[in-house]
Structure 1
Amino acid sequence: MKMKKVISLVLSAAMAASLCGCLGGSNAATTAAESSAAGSAAVAGEETTAAAAAETKEHSADAVGLKLSTTIKELELTTVPNGMGVQAMADYLDEQDGGVYLDMYLDGVLGSSTDELLGGAQTGAFDMVALSFGNWGDYTDGFAALSIPYLFTSSEQVYAYIDGPEGDAMKQQVEEDTGMVVLAFLDVGFRNITNSRGPIKTPDDVKGLKLRTQNDRYQIAALEALGATCSVISFSELYSSLQQGLVDAQENPIINTYTNKFYEVQDYMTLTRHAYTCTILAISRESLDKLTPEQQQLVLDAGKVAQDTAREKLVEVEDDYLEKLGKEMEIYDPTQEELEAFQKVAMTSWDIIEQDMGSEKFNEIVNAAQEIADSLK
């Protein structure tokens, strides 16, 4: 796969000019702009100004503000695990008072596409990004293991993989490919299918479903193996696409399905748990290297705090959101035998993934995941 290491110089230069440089000292930490309707270009500039002006804590004139660009919304800093993780990092840096703080630009005010976010960080328009791992595929294969459907069947398995040598290898490849240092895997949970057509209890019930997916070729291959007709639609347009009947199904973690009110346009959910989802919090190597060794360690420690917080918060909020969804839509939780039927069909796509990835790397990933699964039994 060809990696996009550098994006449009025109775009990046415009971003850099608008921000007047990164890693600069400031007396006020940046918080989020007020959330706006998705795609509203008319207010984007006003939101950026508001984000730059908002204050949460006074900082010394020589303190370093790390500019974070993300599509996470301000409300999500207190309501969803990945957002709570970002806020925990900001709080930790403030509490340590190590001369570095998080300068947050939320809700896509500095760019919402992958090219804008990673390109901006790579060329110095800002320092950090928080971006779903599935959006990194055009830049690196480092997160490929997380895209293999049903490779992991529990959070414990995912965490053991991420926290072990396999996770270290992921981070190393991502940095080599993109120049970005992974600070945290911010948990969002496992993905499930919702639809407006009818209950899904077997793989046969998926056949012919018009399903919106991420732009993740491995997950698309699995869902197509189940018989769905997949359409890649931007997340910001998903609600309206469901409402207008352009697609009749979508797949997302419980958190996203509830907070984005997909239950208003979807009647059924099946807990297929076919793929794990997380947000990658990363800083450019160039920005990290500009910090003192003490500040660098502080940022790495803050990333660990963010990751741990997201995991803890997922446990707290997911069951609550699932209960609330149960009052709005019909939810089906497959038995273990039924779930294995979904897994068996979806895993027929593994041949395609192995061919794409190469047998050596594919078998290495699968064997490591299996060893972890066996150790947790």
Structure 2
Amino acid sequence: MKKKLMSVTIIVVMVMSLLIGCNGNKDKDASGGGGGKDAKADAGRSAVWKVSAMGSETNPTTQGWYIFEKEIEKRLDNVDVQVFINGQLGTSADQCIGGMQNGIIQFSDISVGNVAEYTSAFLPLDAPFLFEDRDTALSTVDGEAGKAMAEQYLKDTDIKLLGYWDYGFRNVTNSKKPIKGAADFSGLKIRTLNNNVYLDMLTCLGANPSTMAYAEVFTGLQQGTIDGQENPNSTIVDAKFYEVQKYLTLTEHVYGFLGLHMGNSFYEGLNEEEKKAVEESAQIAIEQQREICNKANEDALATIKDAGVEVTELSADQKAEMRKETSSVWDTIADKCGKDLFKKVVKAAGQEY
């Protein structure tokens, strides 16, 4: 798959955003950049590394970036890592991948489910009902299967994946009815990622999928333009979707991962000390972020229940029924990413294909 570079127009827009962001980033506490660190500590630092973070300051992945920032600056006296939250430096895969390819930004945390336009490398992770539990999902991406996907991604995009941020199982909310089986999806208009695998999965279950922009989802749910959406519990609470939804079903249909992405050209331009600092800091940040994320999802479920949302937990048989209904999606994924890669990931997940 060819690398897809951003248009000149988008690059200009991002450059302007960076200039504005840099002015605003003088006050680190106000912008969220730096996690509230003292700006005086950066006075003697000559290199600026920019991180495009999608989430808010309290988002588990943003918290991971702040840990990464701290670890990098502890190891490299000349580097100032600046974390720009809430998508200030890009709200789409197109902007963030293009920004890293062109050296406008150095790091980003795009969901691996959102880069299907650029590469088929991570499609195996989108196979419906692939993972039975969190531990298996994490061990899969941390092992040889995860490395194989990252290698393919690098070839397709010239973006290096330093590791996988935890996002948690994706679950479905809606305002119409409890979902207790595949038949209950019938007629529901569900917002999902702009990813054909997700669209096919929901279609197979009988829903009407929508790819509404994330920023418009709350209003869409509130006004009834869409009936529901699917996301991890922490996102459902962070975005306040639960305030305008009546039902949550713990479908756990896909385990979500964000990537710790880094421009490969930038990486290759670093010296050995800097490369070592990046890799060590990434692993420490990922380990701690995963614990933060797991707790956030557990706390979010409690918040959703306390708000009066009806929560349905599916049995193994109910999930097996849904997996059967979406079996054709597994075939589609295998065809797109290659059967060898797909089988490697499926095997690591303890499944058969």
Post-superposition shift, 1:322? 0.6
2:297 aligned with 1:323: no
Post-superposition shift, 1:15? 3.4
Deviations 1:132-164 (A, max 9, x none): 111111111221121111122211111121111
Post-superposition shift, 1:248? 0.3
2:272 aligned with 1:293: yes
The equivalent of 1:195 in structure 2 is: 174
> Which structure 2 segments of 5+ residues have no match?
29-37
The equivalent of 1:309 in structure 2 is: 288
The equivalent of 1:86 in structure 2 is: 65
> Measured at CA, do residues 263 and 300 of structure 1 come closer, stay the same or move farther in structure 2, by a change above 3 Å?
same
CA distance in structure 1 between the partners assigned to 2:180 and 2:237 by the alignment: 21
Post-superposition shift, 1:265? 1.0
The equivalent of 1:351 in structure 2 is: 331
Counterpart of 2:93, as a letter, is: T
The equivalent of 1:31 in structure 2 is: none
Post-superposition shift, 1:4? 4.1
The equivalent of 2:10 in structure 1 is: 11
> Measured at CA, do residues 341 and 74 of structure 1 come closer, stay the same or move farther in structure 2, by a change above 3 Å?
same
CA contact (8 A) 2:250 2:314 kept: yes
Deviations 1:317-368 (A, max 9, x none): 2221111110121101112222222222233422333333444443343234
- Tell me the SS of whatever aligns to 1:303: helix
CA distance in structure 2 between the partners assigned to 1:334 and 1:305 by the alignment: 34
The equivalent of 1:51 in structure 2 is: 25
Counterpart of 1:263, as a letter, is: Y
CA contact (8 A) 2:45 2:79 kept: no
Deviations 1:283-310 (A, max 9, x none): 1122122322111110111111121112
CA distance in structure 1 between the partners assigned to 2:143 and 2:149 by the alignment: 10
What is the aligned counterpart of 2:255 among 272, 276, 289?
Answer: 276
CA distance in structure 2 between the partners assigned to 1:212 and 1:158 by the alignment: 24
> Which structure 1 segments of 5+ residues have no match?
21-45
- Tell me the SS of whatever aligns to 1:94: helix
Deviations 1:256-285 (A, max 9, x none): 001111111100000000001121111112
State the TM-score, normalized to the length of structure 2: 0.89
The equivalent of 2:217 in structure 1 is: 238
CA distance in structure 1 between the partners assigned to 2:183 and 2:163 by the alignment: 38
Counterpart of 2:333, as a letter, is: I
CA contact (8 A) 1:48 1:110 kept: no
Post-superposition shift, 1:56? 4.1
Which moves more between the two structures, 10-19 or 289-298?
Answer: 10-19
Deviations 1:217-260 (A, max 9, x none): 11221221111111111111111111111110111100100111
CA contact (8 A) 1:99 1:295 kept: no
Deviations 1:34-90 (A, max 9, x none): xxxxxxxxxxxx6653124435451353542211123222232xxxx2222111111
Counterpart of 2:145, as a letter, is: E
Instruction: Give RMSD over aligned pairs.
Output: 2.1
Deviations 1:178-223 (A, max 9, x none): 1111122111100001000011111111111111111121122122
What is the aligned counterpart of 1:119 among 84, 98, 110?
Answer: 98
The equivalent of 1:61 in structure 2 is: 44
- Tell me the SS of whatever aligns to 1:184: strand
The equivalent of 1:37 in structure 2 is: none
The ranges of structure 1 where at least 4 consecutive aligned residues each deviate by more than 6 angstroms after the TM superposition are none
- Tell me the SS of whatever aligns to 1:67: strand
CA distance in structure 1 between the partners assigned to 2:55 and 2:114 by the alignment: 14
- Tell me the SS of whatever aligns to 1:273: strand
CA distance in structure 1 between the partners assigned to 2:92 and 2:13 by the alignment: 15
State the TM-score, normalized to the length of structure 1: 0.84
CA distance in structure 2 between the partners assigned to 1:207 and 1:18 by the alignment: 43
> Measured at CA, do residues 309 and 57 of structure 1 come closer, stay the same or move farther in structure 2, by a change above 3 Å?
farther
CA distance in structure 1 between the partners assigned to 2:21 and 2:344 by the alignment: 46
The count of corresponding residues between Structure 1 and Structure 2 is: 341
Counterpart of 1:141, as a letter, is: S
- Tell me the SS of whatever aligns to 1:271: strand
CA contact (8 A) 1:191 1:275 kept: yes
> Measured at CA, do residues 291 and 358 of structure 1 come closer, stay the same or move farther in structure 2, by a change above 3 Å?
closer
2:249 aligned with 1:266: no
Counterpart of 1:340, as a letter, is: A
Listed as ranges, the matches of 1:102-251 within 5 Å are: 102-251=81-230
> Measured at CA, do residues 172 and 73 of structure 1 come closer, stay the same or move farther in structure 2, by a change above 3 Å?
same
